[in-house]
Structures are given as C-alpha cells and as structure tokens.
Amino acid sequence: MRSAAVIGAGSWGTAVAYVLGGKGIRTALWARSADVVSGIAANSRNPRYLTDVLLPPTVWATTDLDEAVRGAGVVIVATPSQAMRATAEALVSVWDGSAPIVSLAKGLEQNSLMRMTEVLEDVLGHRSRLAVLSGPNHAEEVSRGIPSATVISAYDEEIGLALRDVFTTSAFRAYTNPDVVGVELAGASKNVIAVAAGMSDGLGFGDNSKASLMTRGLAEMSRLGHAEGANPLTYMGLAGMGDLIATCTSRHSRNRGLGECIARGGSVEQYEAETGMVAEGAVSCVTVHEIGIRDGLDMPITGQVRRIVREGALADDAVEALMGRDATDELHGMGLSDE
C-alpha cells in the first residue's frame, strides 16, 4: 500500500491519517474547509482538531475530492453517519470501484435505518470492496501513539486481511472479524448506552450504577445483534464490549459527555456548539430504538435515552422507570442461552 485517501478531517480522520502516514503511506486528507487545508500545509497540524498532533510529511491535505481519491489504494470515509450518503454520492464520479472503501462512522442512517456499508453499497455498489473499522479507539490517544486495538470487518475475506495489514502498526493493532452486521450495529448501539452512562455521571451516581448500565446495555446491544443475524460473540470483543467500556468511561467520549450535559440541564445543540463535535448517540438513540421496535425487542435503556434526548423526558424519571421494571433472565434474547 503506497497511498491512501481519508475523507473527513475531523479528529478521527486526522488520527487515522496520522497512523497511515506514520507507516510511510502517502495519505491525502480531504477537508471541506480551506482553512484546515492551509493550516496542515503550513504547519503539518490540523488547526481545528487534535491541534497538538504533528502530522507526518507523508500526510497532505486538499479540498479537491478527485485529487484525494485518484490513485489511492484505499479510501477511508471518516464523516459522521448522517453525511455518509452525501459522501458516497460525491464519490460516484471519482472512485473507479477498485480501491477498498472503509467506513469509520458509528451510526445508522435516519429514516432508512441502514448501516453505513449498506448506504455505501446502495449508492456505489461493489459490496465486496466495502469494510468497516471499529473498536475502542479514541482519536486523542491513537494520535499520540498510545497502544490501541481495533477491528476490521469486510465482506470479502481477502480485503479484510489486506486492510488489517494496512492499519496495523506497533501501537495500533488491527484484528479481523467477518461479522460486518455485528460490528456496525455494535458501533451504533454502544453510543446510546454511553449517553446513558454520561447521564448517570451527570446525576451524581456511582460506579455501581454505571457498571449496571453498561452490562445491561450490552445485553440490549447483543439482543439487537442476535435479531439482525450478527454473531453474539462479536459483542464480547473489541467492537462490542471493548468500545462500550471506552465510550462509557473516557473523558474523551463525546457521547458520555453529551449524556452528562443533558442530565445537568443542557441540550444536544448546546453540547455540539460548545465542543464543535457531533455525538452520534443523539441520532442513534432513535435509529437503534426503531430497529428494536421493528424486531419486537425489549430495549428499555435505549428507549429511555430516546425519551430524554428527543422528547424532553427527565433523567430522574427514567431512573425510576428502569429500576421499577420486572426482573428477567439476564441472558434473555442474546443468543447465548437456551430460549
């Protein structure tokens, strides 16, 4: 692999460009903003995100999508989930169908409820060239060379193995998992549980509360995956439990931060204005819940997060509703026990 294109110069796109560029791969970082491009050209730093990270000389920035994608051996899409379709439509005229496309987005498309690789396939076709990268990967840590691990999931086994080698470094270890459905659904649904964990923090609750939310949230995630045909063991791995732990507990987590902000009287709009970042859980609490409703699943935490974030319900009332539920078997519906 000699060249790559990263579409989206936010924090995660910048971090991935840092990883690839550090391997000597000539990496184009596409940005919508000319200021970001000029800042990287002048100082080898993104002036908006991860501003203290010095990008390798192999990373260059451009606002020209055709220039970024032309000749790239792999195309990595690092835009938010709700921008995936527009990004794919822009790629139609510049991507020739040969280079693998890797989605970094952790969400589901509104209305259609499609996973990100489904959106890419819907617009671009070439299912066998599509893949997703997911795991406990905060950009702030990956871009500092702090040891991390991730999962590559591709529809084609050879593509998955090739991408594993592309992304693996001494500090960023990539594993393969053929369960594209499970990896993508885990990435979207764990953000909702992270919002709930942040609400727990905002309400002043303790470790017991957060641990309970995380484990019961993992049960919801697994039920959803099982209903959609995913491998239940995916939820025990990096894309499931690993990402859930990082997103629910880290100070870097946008979704945990959003939940804390809302529990203290703030709003989605306020949080995103203050941070300049998109918290995917603000949309995923609706899309994930809608898939659960479609599949006839019991997803109480996801439903309560939706009520609070989108319908103005109070977090205190949600706590009462969750704690007052009838007790059930812990592994019900997860595909891990007799049913």
Task: Indicate the pTM of the whole model.
Answer: 0.94
pLDDT number for residue 193: 98
pLDDT number for residue 320: 82
pLDDT number for residue 334: 64
Which helix (H) or strand (E) segment holds residue 264: the answer is none
pLDDT number for residue 339: 42
Q: Which CATH class is domain 181-323?
A: mainly alpha
Q: Where in the chain is the domain with CATH 3.40.50.720?
A: 3-178
Catalytic residue among 23, 106, 190, 210: 190
Q: Which two tokens stand for residue 315?
A: 């977090």
Q: Where in the chain is the domain with CATH 1.10.1040.10?
A: 181-323
CB 27 within 8 A of CB 21: yes
Is 190 tagged catalytic? yes
CATH code of 3-178, in short, is: 3.40.50.720
- Averages of pLDDT over runs of 10 residues in the chain (339 residues) are 96 98 98 97 97 98 98 97 97 97 98 98 98 97 97 98 98 98 98 97 96 96 97 97 97 95 95 90 97 96 96 88 81 59
- Measured in degrees and rounded to the nearest 5, phi and psi for residue 311 equal -120, 0
pLDDT number for residue 338: 42
Query: Residue 216's closest CA among 257, 244, 252?
Result: 244
Q: Compute the distance between CA of residue 277 and CA of residue 272 in angstroms, rounded to an integer.
A: 5
pLDDT number for residue 126: 98
